[in-house]
């Protein structure tokens, strides 16, 4: 695909693993300048080095947790002037903890999931979008939702609710920006084989592996390719929502697995 994105500044949250990592490589391939917002400095530096060994692109690291509203604001507004001209924001950071019934969920788990998935997205967006407007950018906000937003599944209600919030926040933001040159896209993947389940099950690898057993899940690269495609189409075209699943997944609850 020919790049319309060369030289544009792209900010990606949760960039060191899974979909965020693949998205960073995808935009680097297109010749973009990257602002990678990560929690772990060591992993961030390793990713930066790995990308720059493959692609000749400039990269800035912001070491901050998306749950830290003041830290987010200071980090982004502290960027050099040219780096504040962000064309594309990918709100990727997100997670799930456990498969507990709503009334059995741990308080810390509830806070972490809601603070990361919803408030983190809002904290970043409320800083970046005003910059897009200030610099009159043909901007694009791309939010990572989930097919889980469409219908709840057993043990996943809190996570599903956060992704339903992302869908409605994306729709609302699109309405708020309808008179501007800023587009908003909500990406809703189904089963993607990443470290997501390992985080959800707090390091229980056997339980995490079982999620992907018997189905050819989407890969992080599959989702990243879709994100980059959505960002790279002509600016007069806005893809408002993209729902994508593996071949043997019909929706958030109907999955066919081959038992061998």
Active site residues: 159, 163
Q: Are 226 and 219 in contact (CB under 8 A)?
A: no
E strand or H helix at 220, and its extent? Answer: helix 220-232
Q: Are 14 and 94 in contact (CB under 8 A)?
A: yes
CA gyration radius, the chain: 18
Q: Are 101 and 155 in contact (CB under 8 A)?
A: yes
CA distances from 18 to 54, 56, 92, 93, 196 (A): 18, 22, 10, 10, 8
| Among 147, 146, 167, CA closest to 250 | 147
Strand order of the β-sheet with 241-244 is: 59-63, 33-38, 9-13, 86-91, 140-144, 183-189, 241-244
E strand or H helix at 61, and its extent? Answer: strand 59-63
Q: Are 244 and 226 in contact (CB under 8 A)?
A: yes
Q: Give the residues across from 220 on adjacent strands.
A: none
| Among 36, 38, 7, 3, CA closest to 228 | 3
Q: Are 100 and 45 in contact (CB under 8 A)?
A: no
């Amino acid at each position: 695909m020919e790049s319309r994105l060369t030289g544009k500044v792209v900010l990606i949250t949760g960039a060191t693993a899974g979909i965020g990592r693949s998205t960073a490589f995808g935009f680097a391939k297109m010749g973009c300048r990257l602002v990678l917002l990560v929690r772990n400095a060591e992993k961030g530096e390793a990713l930066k080095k790995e990308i720059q060994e493959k692609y000749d692109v400039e990269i800035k690291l912001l070491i901050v947790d998306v749950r830290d509203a003041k830290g987010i604001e200071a980090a982004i507004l502290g960027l050099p002037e040219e780096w504040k001209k962000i064309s594309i924001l990918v709100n990727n950071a997100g997670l799930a903890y456990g498969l507990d019934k709503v009334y059995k969920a741990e308080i810390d788990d509830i806070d972490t999931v809601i603070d990361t998935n919803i408030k983190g997205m809002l904290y970043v967006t409320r800083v970046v979008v005003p910059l897009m407007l200030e610099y009159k950018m043909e901007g694009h906000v791309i939010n990572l939702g989930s097919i889980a937003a469409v219908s709840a599944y057993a043990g996943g209600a809190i996570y599903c609710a956060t992704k339903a919030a992302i869908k409605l926040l994306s729709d609302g933001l699109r309405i708020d920006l309808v008179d501007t040159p800023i587009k908003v896209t909500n990406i809703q993947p189904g089963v993607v084989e990443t470290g997501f389940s390992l985080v959800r099950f707090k390091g229980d690898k056997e339980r995490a592996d079982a999620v992907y057993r018997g189905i050819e899940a989407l890969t992080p690269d599959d989702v990243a390719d879709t994100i980059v495609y959505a960002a790279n189409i002509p600016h007069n075209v806005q893809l408002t929502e993209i729902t994508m699943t593996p071949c043997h997944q019909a929706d958030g609850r109907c999955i066919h697995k081959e038992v061998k």
